[in-house]
Amino acid sequence: MTAGDRVDALGERATSLAAGGPSPATLARWGLGLMLVAAGAHKLLDPQGWTVYVTGWLAPWLVVSPTTFMLANGYLELGFAALLLADRWTAFAALVAAVSLAATTGYLAIVWATTGQFGDVVARDVGLTGLALAVLVDALREA
């Protein structure tokens, strides 16, 4: 068997596996839900670690301490993650995730542009915002 034959066989196997697997929309919903589980759980386990993203000019706008803000977000993220993973009220949960991620991305982009901080997080969050929007659009089309 030549290298080309092996590549072709691998491609055929991957195509066969993909045909029998979950839909891309389901994978996107699971991915978004699991990301929210990871972020929410980590905020509950280490809320202080997340307060680094609350800059000096944002802190006065919060009605609670940055730590309490992160704890509240952790619980909310776990709740919305549960909705997404259970495929219940998916459009609403994806809308909340998309708005939250877009606002966070916008905020962090301003911080990055003015201080040079968090550029890596902005790059990641742009993709996560797109993922949330894809899940939202799919849920709305199915409604």
- Give pLDDT tens digits for 22-45: 999 999 999 999 999 999 999 999
Instruction: Report yes or no on 16 lying in a domain.
Output: no
Asked whether residue 20 carries a pLDDT value surpassing 80, the answer given is: yes
Instruction: Report yes or no on 17 lying in a domain.
Output: no
Asked whether residue 134 carries a pLDDT value surpassing 80, the answer given is: yes
Instruction: Report yes or no on 91 lying in a domain.
Output: yes
The pLDDT assigned to 4 comes to 87
Instruction: Report yes or no on 11 lying in a domain.
Output: no
The pLDDT assigned to 38 comes to 98
Classify residue 64 by its DSSP letter.
S
Per-residue confidence band for 1, with pLDDT thresholds at 50, 70 and 90: confident
Residues, the chain: 143
Instruction: Report yes or no on 6 lying in a domain.
Output: no
The pLDDT assigned to 74 comes to 98
Instruction: Tell me which residue range forms the domain holding 120.
Output: 22-142
The pLDDT assigned to 8 comes to 86
Give residues with Cβ within 8 angstroms of 70, minimum separation 6. Answer: 43, 47, 48, 50, 51
Q: Total structural domains in the chain?
A: 1
The pLDDT assigned to 77 comes to 98
Instruction: Report yes or no on 3 lying in a domain.
Output: no
